[in-house]
Chain A
Amino acid sequence: MLKGKVHKYGANVDTDVIIPARYLNLSEPAELAEHCMEDIDAEFLSRVEPGDIMVATTNFGCGSSREHAPLAIKASGISCIIAKSFARIFFRNAINIGLPLLECEEAVDNIETGDLVEVDLAKGSIKNLNSGRVFTAKPYPDFMAELIAAGGLIEHTKKRLGVK
């Protein structure tokens, strides 16, 4: 069960604002996290606390394929992202590195910045603790559920190849 306060954004949040390219010579998640969202929300880093939840409308994570973007978000303390839709490369990058994503239009329309939200990943349920309303995210296809259960793509690949 994940629980945290919400940081909400609009449509088409691109990977250049999640982690500007001027920091792409870094690859350590903790170093990347120091610059997470700084071009779109300069206060984000001072507000975010471990376990917090990011919410956005459509096409979150569009643009570059930089895995630095979900790595930075995850290392900043964000426990999961809820959006109406995700850009496809960001989606697979997040799943691959074990940052949970949930797609749920209704939840996004009924959650605001600062709300306290509880997420049950196994059930896909999202509860806004401020309003008491509960929403259900789109379930993952079987293959992706398997990938998530394995702990991400690297662990899944190890299993496939029989590497310990």
Chain B
Amino acid sequence: MADLQDDIPTTTEVGEDDILPDAPPAVAVPLEPGRPRPEQPDAELLAQAHTLLAEHPVADGYSGLPWALRHLSWYDLQLGEAAVDTDVPRLREGHVGALFWSLHLPEGRGGESPVEAALEQLDLVRTVIEAHPEGLRLVRTAGQIIDARNCGRVAVVLGPAPGAVVADSLGILRILRDLGLRVLTLAGTVWAGASGLTRFGEEVVREMNRLGVLADVSGASPATAERTLALSKTPVLCSRSAARALRPHPANLPDELLVALGEAKGLCMVPLTAEQTGPTVPDVADHLDHVRDVAGPECVGLSGTYDSGVVHPRDLADASRYPHLIAELLRRGWSGTELSLLTWGNVQRVLRSADFTARAAQHRRDTSTARIGDLGTP
């Protein structure tokens, strides 16, 4: 057995710096009477978190797994894979029931065009999921997520993809939707820049509504985010945004945008990254508290951002750690209803709404033939 174990790739292959050391175990420090140490929720809260998550698992809004796997020559997610933060055993341990697989690529990666890269990523996703039929299932709709869950599979939803993948073409948007894409990040395109959506950008959002592709305004300019919120017939999401009031990161949302998002019943998915939320579980919980208080409990969700090359807070090093976070929220008095919305219900609502809006829009609206040239470039 020892020989075989030697062959297991080490974690240094992917994202060697993406884990902060866990907090020291509770036994190392004498427990004070009264409240438990904030970073080590007591066993009772942890057990309660497991019970709650068993009922309402986590729908994780962002996983970088496709890119992380692309350059691994060998991996097995079913039995456990040390080279990445996400595998089936840890997804089960963390009670992850659904996972959005991001098609975003690391910065500064040359070569292929965004469209070619997207096709490569989609192909890889299909291959990976076909290779793990007992653990993973590719799904498109909220209903299929439930089906997958009833069959004991982790549902994989495709997206977000960077807006550049549609190459300024509604035809390509439709094709990528047909290949399973459900979320598109608007930022980084010529039609969703600093001054907001261009006329073509507005047509992209309308066509996304018609197709059931969710708009992700994380990283978009305030003008783009506001216009998208106003225009979209279905809730908009932020795939990786925390509260700027607590931490001044450009992708974090200022309170006025959180209020607007709450009014539009959108979804702010708070990323578990040290950079955006802070290095500890209570830091993450502070953001979740804030987003819940400002936008509302129906408008807050979770983005693990595992395998995307970012540094995670202590005690949240991989996909198995969600119970720790939920235990902290229990300690802070989150109700069972609020927690079920946070982990599962809100994502279900947003996807269902998008599915419904798409069906309605297809009766009302024809396929858009608009081209970026016709509607002007900025």
Is B one of A's binding partners?
no
| Residue ranges of A at the interface with B (Cβ–Cβ < 8 Å) | none
* Residues of B near any A CB (own CB < 8 A): none
